[in-house]
Homo-oligomer: A and B are copies of this chain.
Amino acid sequence: MLIKFCNQCGHEVKYQVPHGDDKPRAICQRCFHIQYENPKIVNACIVEHGGKILLGKRTIEPRKGFWNVPAGFMENGEATRSGAVREVKEEVLAELKNVTLFGVYNIIQRNQVHVYFRGELAHDEYGAGAETSDARLFAPEDIPWDRLAFPVGITALKRYIKEMPTGDFTIKEEDIIIDYDLLKQFDPQPSND
């Protein structure tokens, strides 16, 4: 979303390249405050319990009605790990143990970086929390791949499940490319179950 006004003095901004910079920024034409726009971080956690994966069903757009790895935008005042733990607590009402880094996924088309962790349920307790209508444990062979919400979750889950049998988990940094044409063509409707 293009910036139109200064958030410090309320005057109009123009996109101009500041001295010593090489990119246009939203510069206030009165107080010269610069509003920088930077990528946002999403923290997520793949949660395992007894060889199954915990997913939540989304009640909000985008991708309402689709299943997802618990995830959400990082807040000021938290760490990537504590952000992921918070999202799991909020969305699928679960406490975690053994939380460790799993991947860094760049989504350039969305100006997002998703930091994925993996962890285990601390207790056998979970449920549908905020923005979630259902929470379920899926055996690897039962994961509803065509009803998963986002390419980044699919990419991370596929690697997790591949590495599960040996427990020899890697940590990867990868780019996620969103194919908008494919999404339009094949996007299934969410089920009502």
Q: Which residues of B contact A81 (CB under 8 A)?
A: 106, 173
Number of A positions contacting B (CB below 8 A): 45
CA distance A1 to B104 in the complex (A): 28
CA distance A175 to B83 in the complex (A): 13
What is the CB-to-nearest-CB distance from A89 to chain B, in angstroms, rounded to a whole number?
12
The yes or no answer to A76 lying at the interface (CB within 8 A) is yes
The yes or no answer to A38 lying at the interface (CB within 8 A) is yes
Query: A104-140: which residues lie under 8 A (CB-CB) from chain B?
Result: 104, 106, 108, 111, 113, 115, 117, 130
In contact, A173 and B5 (Cβ under 8 angstroms): no
Q: Pull 9 A–B residue pairs with CB atoms less than 8 Å apart, ordered by A.
A: A5-B8, A7-B35, A79-B106, A79-B108, A80-B104, A80-B106, A81-B173, A104-B115, A115-B173
The interface of chain A, by Cβ under 8 A from chain B, is 1, 3-13, 20, 23, 26, 35-41, 73-81, 100-101, 104, 106, 108, 111, 113, 115, 117, 130, 171-173, 175
